[in-house]
Homo-oligomer: A and B are copies of this chain.
Amino acid sequence: MPTFEPQDPDFEMRVRASFTRQKVMETIGASLTRVAPGEVEIELPFRDDLTQHHGYLHAGIVTSIVDTACGLAAMTLMPADASVLTIEYKANFVSPATGKRMIARGRVTKPGRTITVCAGDVVALSGGKEKLVATMLATMMAVRERPDLPA
């Protein structure tokens, strides 16, 4: 895996502040558990009120945490004045999103001035073991003219 050099030494602070501004993350109970250059991890405890018709976490909720993990992974490598927008993503759902909690991991595949491509995975944690739930490929865009909301 490539190693990346952040442009902004305060990238972690900036990424944590952006996560906090994502109100939906608090609403669903997600927390930011790791920020490194080109990599971000988000955890989500299972919650019955976020499920679909089989009692698993809804694909859209699984997608929410891995999209945010990918977007923030891209943001770790962006300049201090850039904000990040999701242009598009694709996700495959390979096992039921069930278990004690989910961990979403986003990482940068290819950084760029405008476009950053990221890959992400979501695993379900149960009894100390990880099982792959979903895998994502995402295209993120650095935007200058559209800053994050004021805190």
Contact of A100 with B by CB under 8 A: no
Q: List the number of copies, as a whole number.
A: 4
Specify the main secondary structure of chain A where it touches its partner.
mixed
Please state if A94 and B65 are interface contacts (CB–CB under 8 Å): no
Please state if A135 and B119 are interface contacts (CB–CB under 8 Å): yes
Given that A23-B48, A23-B51, A110-B132 are known contacts, is A139 also in contact with B137, CB under 8 Å in the complex?
A: no
Contact of A115 with B by CB under 8 A: yes
CB distance from A54 to the nearest CB of B (A): 6
**Quick one: which of A64-98 are within 8 Å of B by CB?**
64-65, 67-68, 83, 85-95
Could you list 25 examples of A-B contacts with CB < 8 Å? A19-B53, A22-B52, A23-B48, A24-B51, A26-B49, A52-B68, A53-B148, A54-B83, A55-B149, A60-B61, A60-B67, A85-B93, A87-B92, A87-B93, A87-B139, A88-B92, A88-B117, A90-B137, A92-B109, A94-B110, A94-B112, A95-B110, A115-B141, A117-B135, A135-B137
Residues of A within 8 A of B (CB): 18-19, 21-24, 26-27, 48-55, 58-61, 63-65, 67-68, 83, 85-95, 109-110, 112, 114-115, 117, 119, 132, 135-137, 139, 141, 146, 148-149
